[in-house]
Structure 1
Amino acid sequence: MALRVAVLGQLPETLLAQLSELALSLDLTILPQATTVPGAQQALSAPVPDIAVVGSSFTDGSAYAFLRALPPGDRPVGLVCVGSRDEEAVVAFELQATDFVLLPAPSARLLEAVSRARQQVLQLALLRTADELQRLLSEAGAAGGVDLSALFSARTGHGQVLAPDGLGANGEGARRRRAVGGTATGTLIASSPWRAPSRVTADRSGRARDGADEAILDLTQEDGGRAGSEARPLRVLVREGRRTRFVPLAEVDWFEADGNYIRVHTAGEKFRTRGTITAIESALDPRQFVRIHRRIVVNMDRVREMTPLPGGDGLLVLGDGATLRLSRTYRSRVR
């Protein structure tokens, strides 16, 4: 069955045309565009659409403010926000959007964003199916036996399950695509669904607390974009041309200064964005992110071993085998 896509807010005609072209290839049903708040309320009435493509504003108000006021259960699972300003990406992140598309955008970029939202919906459906199967297995086990093949065929009409393309730990960047499945003689495997960004932050003592907006590290600002914020950032904002991504800090191996830019090394990928080492030092926990060179700040959770070198320098070996030089000037910071 085709997934239902709501179109909310004022969006360029070119983007609407691109969205219509995607409908057939991605098996989507595009609902009529809603450009007003009452229209959006009607579009999201039960049954709630699977995906929403949302512009930043209605003719009578802010689309982002409208979404923020909705209970989580009334929002579509897949949420693609569209805007013409970089600052809107941060708002989209706070709304726990699947993706943010900066306008003007090529059709390939919209395809990527909508495909990701579709994948999120299918993965959640798969997880729910797996949960239901587990419940049936438990009930059948209590009754003294179970035929997995019969149970699964009864629920899906097939003898195996194919998961949607798996999402890698690097979020919007690296996608590790594979199908997983099981039969009557094997094991039913359900890949975990994409998890929306956590709204857990930290208080002054560093303890996590719920219910507050998560701080974001913006390297283009000297204070890391955290003026007035007491929370430790959990993600770093990376701008690649007209594209904005949020990279989890827990997945960052090291930061490297490159002139007026910062290279963010994470899980085999490199992102280049404007920024300074000073912004990193001032914003991050110095116990975890340590400066080891005038150009490098490393995530100590990634360091596997340290070897002293002649002259007082050192060599750090990371978990993936990468090596970084530890300058003697900063050696005392590494414990």
Structure 2
Amino acid sequence: MMQTPLERARAAHQDVRTPVALDQRVIAALRVPHRRGARFASWWVPAVTSPLVLLLWFVLRTPLTPIRPVIPALTDAGPAEVAEAPVVRESWSAAERLPEPQVNHVTLWGPGETGIQSLLDETVSYGVFSGVQVSLRSDFATIDKRSEQHVVMLAGHLDWNVRYLETAQLTIEVLGVIYEVTPGRFSLEVQPNQVQLDVQQGQVVVRTPRDPARTVVAGSQLASHAAVTPPARVRWTRAELERRLEAFSKAQQHEQAAVFIRSVVPQVSGALRESLLVDLAAIYGQYLHDWDRACATLSWATREFPAGALSEGIAHLRDRYRCP
């Protein structure tokens, strides 16, 4: 027996609380004819966008040709031809020195500080004064800063780069020979009984107690005999060094201990020198937290003692300080 939609709705809702009036409204809404709206024709979207995408791709992949101005060539009879303007290129010489990078740069002394410093890494540029830098050309070098205008070079071979001076005069003393420097580049090498000067740029005035002053210009060299007898090396013993380092450690004077080791390193050799370099690296890393100097000292110890008795300890410290 066929049932009307209203009867079927009543049978479906006989166990619920839905009123019959609601079923009637739902049936009435279902009986209203539904008029389909005109669908928007989307077939033209790919037909229009595809050519635009291709055009944009073609424009982007084609390099733009720079527009060069043209100047008409004037003659007595008037403009006869159109000549292309000459392209002016900036001249540059491959022989010119580019500015030196300042990535590996260490300042030896702060403002107003003095004392002795030992240079151990030839890959580092060391700042002596503001505007004055040195780089190592030997195994090591030692400099004693006496004031803001005067330093004493005790040992080694150094390249000096004086970019500018903040004082009226800067002098470098080596074995009693005085060098008055100006902005420029030169090198100084301390030899057993003389000092070798090589000037690459600028000029240096050399003064000795027995000879008149001489001016050495760029491209010239000068060997000056020592005006004073080089000081004899102190005979350091391991027991004496351990006693002094222990005193620094008890007093918590770690910076002073590092300065003392740097002054002693140039005066010793062999196993004692290797031990001092490891102690210096440990002080930098463990107490002063100066990882760059610690790694530089360990690199120096590795280069000088590749198969030394402390090579395993050096490798352990390099891993601990994450040295490159």
TM-score by length of 2: 0.22
TM-score normalised according to structure 1 size: 0.21
Say which one has the larger Rg: 2
